[in-house]
């Protein structure tokens, strides 16, 4: 479409009989003659745009395959080689003494593949294109062009994924499965919370539900919180269900995403495995939607449209009359509340499979450790002894610290100057770099080399404070020089494929210790891990966030759940400054029900979600006064709606990050029982004060307030 002087690509979502605009221009070209998105996905996008007060355009773009807005979305072709009759004839081959060893090897590889192999796959096995070209010239190999699905799965390194179709379900599993299968067969919209302790075999149930759905002629959407979890789950599903399993996540290349997307759109798959954006996968016959680790905050998108993948999954299930299964060992307060009220069906797996015990958890009071070892102690003696023990027994260890970098601050001992980000109100994090130290802002990526002397007073007394994963890694290397140690955090896995590679090395036993942030706490199944160390269990508890207790409980329970998943018993050693805090105590006992009771009482008392709903509005400005003025205007405007709609407005007040990327920020909250009232008020405000649109960020059901 021509828009002003530009040509833009649009998406038709509606075709009104009467245009609402007077003068219409002609469409330049129609790119797709069949609708790209299925109707179910378009209406889902409209729901998202509405509920989250986002633009329909943002929602549609999220649902589109990459490259769809450009004209040519290309399908790649691959050259596939097959051995010819001549090439597979043992006589010719025996005769061909002039074949090089490489050429013979190539023929042998091809001989066992009836459909042939793409040149890329041959290259991976050490057979070059030249070798094949020579064989083709002699008529021993045939080459053809084939539309290739760029399948990200081919690249993933997989181990230990032998599926066992004959596996017998445990009593717990069988009971839960009967319950869930009945719901799936019913063909109605239902939501079930599958509350299963870590290692209770939830994945096995997902697999059987997918099988069941396929037999009923319907498809399964399986959502996982983390890109790194997709390869192993996909391998499992492909092992059990065959090749009709597609992958959707943002870590794929555009080409891969495009091909996978079109496979799904053509109806060529039974199962889609993916992260939050997979909730928009163009499936048309969904019978089961599984959201694994439903409590995980990665399901929330922190940019427009700010949707929660789990909540959108439930809506999609409603629209497509599917069974939605929310699985977790530590359900979100929201979902558990619904399971108690009867809105969701509850299914429980109370025990680990094969009666494996849950890991025992030991608390180490770091205040005592500081008193004995000095204030720089990072790894307690108990944990160090535990690690040494595992190393001699050739078992594996996970060490968790939910804070990356080497040190969390730099300051001058003489004048007290600290290194703050020039764009954000946050101190810079120190990272180890090839040439000395780098200080970096985790919000805007501002980065500087840490000088030898203070910038203000020139004294050579710069000191570092606090610690993150890099320092833990270094201390472990110093203490255990013989151990093979790896690190997983956002800095160490920046390169594409790095995360999968390090996780599979750990799974293969090529590493003894894995240090990392919460990335290592999620869902992975490493049977040889018998010890999990948590360096600072209370990282989250200092934060002024009403969900801090819930997050801490979830993280500790999940990470303790990584230990002892194999034959041998597991142990978790948890270092903390607040050993008496209820979320730490109850996580140690892995007592979810007690935690929920305690936490919901607090939420009720304070009127926090899930007891009420929240909307966060951040107003940005060139100066603080500017932002504050706009926010106050908005609040004034909303007040009459609040009275009529029975919600309250909290603020305006400075946002936690008063400055972010050079902008000044002021925030306020709407809080109330009915989201619709708050939404309508905000919609009316945006319509009435259009100039505010560019300056505000609205977050419905916010999880992270910055």
Nearer to Zn ion, 423 or 697 (CB): 423
Nearest approach in angstroms of CB 423 to Zn ion is 4
The DSSP secondary structure of 10-28, one letter per residue, reads -------SS-SSSS-PPPS
- At 238, phi and psi to the nearest 5? -70, -35
Q: Nearest CA to 313 among 283, 340, 342, 333?
A: 283
Nearer to ligand ADP, 112 or 354 (CB): 354
Dihedral class, residue 631 (left if φ above 0, else alpha if ψ from -120 to 50, else beta): alpha
Q: Please, are residues 439 and 428 in contact by the beta-carbon 8 Å criterion?
A: yes
3-state secondary structure of 85: helix
Q: Nearest CA to 29 among 10, 49, 4, 6?
A: 10
- Using CB under 6 A, which of the segments 103-111, 191-199, 220-228, 245-253 binds ligand ADP? 191-199
Q: Please, are residues 14 and 60 in contact by the beta-carbon 8 Å criterion?
A: no
Partner whose binding site includes residue 443, from Zn ion, ligand ADP, none (CB under 5 to 8 Å by kind):
Zn ion
Nearest approach in angstroms of CB 356 to ligand ADP is 8
Q: Nearest CA to 191 among 283, 279, 281, 311?
A: 311
How many residues in the shown chain lie near Zn ion by CB under 5 A? Answer: 7
Indicate which single residue of 443, 582, 602, 608 sits in contact with Zn ion (rule: CB under 5 A). Answer: 443
Cα separation, 451 vs 471, in Å, equals: 19
Nearer to ligand ADP, 203 or 429 (CB): 203
3-state secondary structure of 485: strand
* 169 forms part of the interface with ligand ADP (CB under 6 A): yes
C-alpha 478 chain-centroid distance = 32
Q: Please, are residues 443 and 660 in contact by the beta-carbon 8 Å criterion?
A: yes
Q: Give the contacts of 210 (CB within 8 A, at least 6 positions apart).
A: 220, 222, 237, 241, 270, 271, 288
Nearer to ligand ADP, 111 or 353 (CB): 353
* 204 forms part of the interface with ligand ADP (CB under 6 A): yes
Nearer to Zn ion, 76 or 455 (CB): 455
Q: Which two tokens stand for residue 99?
A: 């074949």
Indicate which single residue of 62, 73, 200, 232 sits in contact with ligand ADP (rule: CB under 6 A). Answer: 200
Q: What CA–CA distances, in Å, run from 127 to 105, 108, 190?
A: 8, 11, 52
Partner whose binding site includes residue 198, from Zn ion, ligand ADP, none (CB under 5 to 8 Å by kind):
ligand ADP
Q: Nearest CA to 235 among 151, 117, 124?
A: 151
Q: Please, are residues 383 and 364 in contact by the beta-carbon 8 Å criterion?
A: yes
Cα separation, 354 vs 172, in Å, equals: 11
Nearer to Zn ion, 167 or 661 (CB): 661
* 107 forms part of the interface with Zn ion (CB under 5 A): no
* 167 forms part of the interface with ligand ADP (CB under 6 A): yes
Q: Nearest CA to 663 among 673, 652, 655?
A: 655
Contact characters 381-420, ligand ADP, x per CB under 6 A: ----------------------------------------
**DSSP H or E run through 471:** helix 469-479
Number of H helices, E strands in the chain: 22, 27
Nearest approach in angstroms of CB 250 to ligand ADP is 23
* 162 forms part of the interface with ligand ADP (CB under 6 A): no
Nearer to ligand ADP, 214 or 351 (CB): 351
CA end-to-end distance (rounded Å), the chain? 38
Q: Nearest CA to 385 among 562, 393, 237?
A: 393
Nearest approach in angstroms of CB 329 to ligand ADP is 7
Nearer to ligand ADP, 190 or 195 (CB): 195
Q: Which two tokens stand for residue 152?
A: 């990200």
Q: Give the contacts of 156 (CB within 8 A, at least 6 positions apart).
A: 231, 234, 235, 500
Indicate which single residue of 158, 353, 611, 692 sits in contact with ligand ADP (rule: CB under 6 A). Answer: 353
Nearer to ligand ADP, 117 or 229 (CB): 229
Note if the bond before 305 is cis, omega within 30 degrees.
Answer: yes
* 161 forms part of the interface with ligand ADP (CB under 6 A): no
Nearer to ligand ADP, 160 or 302 (CB): 160
Nearest approach in angstroms of CB 442 to Zn ion is 8
Nearer to ligand ADP, 80 or 358 (CB): 358
Partner whose binding site includes residue 423, from ligand ADP, Zn ion, none (CB under 5 to 8 Å by kind):
Zn ion
How many residues in the shown chain lie near ligand ADP by CB under 6 A? Answer: 17
Indicate which single residue of 147, 354, 544, 687 sits in contact with ligand ADP (rule: CB under 6 A). Answer: 354
* 198 forms part of the interface with ligand ADP (CB under 6 A): yes
* 513 forms part of the interface with Zn ion (CB under 5 A): no
Indicate which single residue of 53, 361, 398, 441 sits in contact with Zn ion (rule: CB under 5 A). Answer: 441
For residue 174, list its beta bridge partners: none
Nearest approach in angstroms of CB 706 to Zn ion is 12
Restricting to residues 401-440, name those near Zn ion by CB under 5 A: 421, 423-424
Q: Provide the 8-state DSSP code for 561.
A: T
Nearest approach in angstroms of CB 226 to Zn ion is 25
3-state secondary structure of 619: strand
Nearest approach in angstroms of CB 490 to Zn ion is 16
Cα separation, 236 vs 224, in Å, equals: 14
Q: Please, are residues 433 and 520 in contact by the beta-carbon 8 Å criterion?
A: no
- Using CB under 6 A, which of the segments 64-72, 169-177, 414-422, 618-626 binds ligand ADP? 169-177
Partner whose binding site includes residue 3, from ligand ADP, Zn ion, none (CB under 5 to 8 Å by kind):
none
Contact characters 302-341, ligand ADP, x per CB under 6 A: ----------------------------------------
* 116 forms part of the interface with ligand ADP (CB under 6 A): no
Contact characters 509-548, ligand ADP, x per CB under 6 A: ----------------x-----------------------
* 446 forms part of the interface with Zn ion (CB under 5 A): yes
Tell me the pairing of strands 117-118 and 77-83. Answer: antiparallel
Partner whose binding site includes residue 441, from ligand ADP, Zn ion, none (CB under 5 to 8 Å by kind):
Zn ion
Nearest approach in angstroms of CB 563 to ligand ADP is 12
Q: Nearest CA to 522 among 229, 196, 158, 222?
A: 229
**DSSP H or E run through 316:** helix 309-319
* 444 forms part of the interface with Zn ion (CB under 5 A): yes
For residue 194, list its beta bridge partners: 327, 347
* 199 forms part of the interface with ligand ADP (CB under 6 A): yes
Residues of this chain that bind ligand ADP (CB under 6 A): 167-170, 173, 196, 198-204, 353-354, 525, 565
Site residues for Zn ion per CB under 5 A: 421, 423-424, 441, 443-444, 446
């Amino acid at each position: 479409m021509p828009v002003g002087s530009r040509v833009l690509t649009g998406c038709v979502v509606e075709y009104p009989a009467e245009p609402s605009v007077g003068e219409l221009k002609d469409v330049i070209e129609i790119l797709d003659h069949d609708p790209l998105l299925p109707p179910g996905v378009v209406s889902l996008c409209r729901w998202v745009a509405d509920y989250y007060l986002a633009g329909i355009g943002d929602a549609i773009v999220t649902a589109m395959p990459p490259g769809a807005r450009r004209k040519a979305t290309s399908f790649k072709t691959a050259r596939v080689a097959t051995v010819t009759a001549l090439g597979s004839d043992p006589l010719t081959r025996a005769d061909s003494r002039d074949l090089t060893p490489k050429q013979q090897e190539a023929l042998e590889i091809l001989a066992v593949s009836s459909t042939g192999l793409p040149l890329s796959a041959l290259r991976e096995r050490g057979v070059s294109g030249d070798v094949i070209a020579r064989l083709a010239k002699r008529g021993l190999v045939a080459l053809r062009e084939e539309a290739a699905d760029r399948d990200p799965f081919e690249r993933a390194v997989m181990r230990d994924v032998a599926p066992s179709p004959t596996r017998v379900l445990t009593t717990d599993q069988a009971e839960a499965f009967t319950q869930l299968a009945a719901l799936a067969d019913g063909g109605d919209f239902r939501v079930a919370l599958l509350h299963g302790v870590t290692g209770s075999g939830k994945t096995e149930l997902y697999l059987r539900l997918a099988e069941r759905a396929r037999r009923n002629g319907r498809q399964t959407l399986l959502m996982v919180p983390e890109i790194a979890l997709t390869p192993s789950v996909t391998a499992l599903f492909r092992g059990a269900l065959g090749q009709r399993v597609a992958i959707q996540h943002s870590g794929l290349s555009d080409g891969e995403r495009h091909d996978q997307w079109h496979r799904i759109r053509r109806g060529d798959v039974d199962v889609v495995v993916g992260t939050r954006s997979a909730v928009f996968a163009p499936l048309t016959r969904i019978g089961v939607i599984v959201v694994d680790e439903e409590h995980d905050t990665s399901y929330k998108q922190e940019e427009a449209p700010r949707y929660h993948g789990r909540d959108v999954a439930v809506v999609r299930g409603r629209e497509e009359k599917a069974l939605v299964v929310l699985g977790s060992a530590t359900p979100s307060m929201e979902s558990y509340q619904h399971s108690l009220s009867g809105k969701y069906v509850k299914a429980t797996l109370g025990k680990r499979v094969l009666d494996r015990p849950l890991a025992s958890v030991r608390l180490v009071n770091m205040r005592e450790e500081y008193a004995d070892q000095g204030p720089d102690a990072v790894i307690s003696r108990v944990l160090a002894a535990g690690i040494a023990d595992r190393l001699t027994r050739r078992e594996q260890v996970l060490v968790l610290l939910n804070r990356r970098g080497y040190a969390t601050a730099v300051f001058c001992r003489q004048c007290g100057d600290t290194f703050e980000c020039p764009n954000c109100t946050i101190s810079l994090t120190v990272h180890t770099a090839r040439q000395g130290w780098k200080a970096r802002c985790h919000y805007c990526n501002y980065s500087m080399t840490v000088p030898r002397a203070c910038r203000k007073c020139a004294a050579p007394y710069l000191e570092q404070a606090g610690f993150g994963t890099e320092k833990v890694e270094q201390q472990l290397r110093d203490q255990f020089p013989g151990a093979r140690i790896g690190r997983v955090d956002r800095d160490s896995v920046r390169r594409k494929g790095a995360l999968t590679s390090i996780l599979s090395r750990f799974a293969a036993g090529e590493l003894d210790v894995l240090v990392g942030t919460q990335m290592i706490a999620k869902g992975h199944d490493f049977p040889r891990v018998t010890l999990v160390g948590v360096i600072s269990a209370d990282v989250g508890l200092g934060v002024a966030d009403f969900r801090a207790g819930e997050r801490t409980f979830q993280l500790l329970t999940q990470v303790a759940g990584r230990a002892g998943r194999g034959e041998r018993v597991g142990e978790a050693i948890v270092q903390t400054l607040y050993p008496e805090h209820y979320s730490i105590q109850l996580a140690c006992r892995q007592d979810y029900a007690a935690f929920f009771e305690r936490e919901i009482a607090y939420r009720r008392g304070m009127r926090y979600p899930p007891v009420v709903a929240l909307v966060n509005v951040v107003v940005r400005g060139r100066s603080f006064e500017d932002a504050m003025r706009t926010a106050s205007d908005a609040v004034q405007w909303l007040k009459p709606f609040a009275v009529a709609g029975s919600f309250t407005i909290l603020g305006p007040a400075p946002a936690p990050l008063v400055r972010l990327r050079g902008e000044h920020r002021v925030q306020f909250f709407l809080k109330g029982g009915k989201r619709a009232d708050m939404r309508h008020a905000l919609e009316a405000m945006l319509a009435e004060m259009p100039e505010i649109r560019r300056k505000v960020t609205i977050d419905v059901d916010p999880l992270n307030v910055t």
